[in-house]
A and B are shown apart, each in its own frame.
Chain A
Amino acid sequence: EPEVTQTPSHQVTQMGQEVILRCVPISNHLYFYWYRQILGQKVEFLVSFYNNEISEKSEIFDDQFSVERPDGSNFTLKIRSTKLEDSAMYFCASSRRGGASGTGKGLNTEAFFGQGTRLTVV
């Protein structure tokens, strides 16, 4: 069964360092997402990506964050200068289709999540 894979499973980094979290979405999926879950809190949407550009982002996704699909298979999340409060579980997800803006009836489809990368900033 196809699955979303994320690497590494756990990353420890020093405050101020850059980190890149990697994801391999399911191969025929077109929409890609990053979510994060700070310990004990809810899962929060960060960004969605389609057709090689960001389609939607939350307030959390500020200039410290960027996403890229460098080679047609990987989907990466970069945090330029990590802060202590960036410590969280980061989940990548992909879906075959996304919502259809403005139609009122979305082409909703299932998002498949990876196992997550636990980022610890020290």
Chain B
Amino acid sequence: GDSVTQMEGPVTLSEEAFLTINCTYTATGYPSLFWYVQYPGEGLQLLLKATKADDKGSNKGFEATYRKETTSFHLEKGSVQVSDSAVYFCALRNGGSQGNLIFGKGTKLSVKP
């Protein structure tokens, strides 16, 4: 079945460091891909998305490109801030289903001043 694999955490970075969180997927059909963020004590918020191959999603300085050839959707940010500390979830939604999201395990990011 469809699945999402993302890099294990936790990830600890210094402020202004470069961030990459790897995400790969397995899916039939033409999935849409998402990154969700969960700040401490809060619910899931959509960070960015891409709906077809080669699309780049971006928001708040974060970017991810839908790579069909490598089945990947890696999350990147050039310069992280303390406020970016959160858990990041990669997810896919497969159009062949009724549309439920399939999540990765999440990667906890801690950014130190």
Contact = CB atoms under 8 A, between A and B. Distances in A.
B40 to A, nearest CB: 12
B66 to A, nearest CB: 12
Interface string A25-49: 0000001010100000111110010
A99 B103 contact: no
Nearest to B46: A110
Contact of B30 (A56, A98, A104): A104
Contacts of A106: 29-30, 32, 93-97, 99
Contacts, number: 94
Nearest to A103: B95
B98 A101 contact: yes
A65 interface: no
A35 B38 CA distance: 14
21 contacts: A31-B98, A33-B101, A41-B105, A44-B103, A45-B101, A48-B99, A56-B97, A56-B98, A56-B100, A93-B101, A95-B99, A98-B99, A99-B96, A99-B98, A106-B95, A110-B46, A111-B93, A111-B101, A113-B45, A115-B43, A116-B43
Interface of A: 31, 33, 35, 41-45, 48, 50, 55-56, 58, 91, 93, 95, 97-116
A46 B89 CA distance: 17
A31 B89 CA distance: 22
Contacts of B100: 33, 45, 48, 56, 58, 99
Nearest to A113: B44
Contacts of A110: 46, 49
A103 B30 CA distance: 10
Contacts of A113: 36, 43-46
Nearest to B106: A42
| Interface-centre pick from A93, A95, A106, A115 (highest chain B CB count, 10 A) | A106
Interface string B27-67: 00110100010000011111001010000000000000000
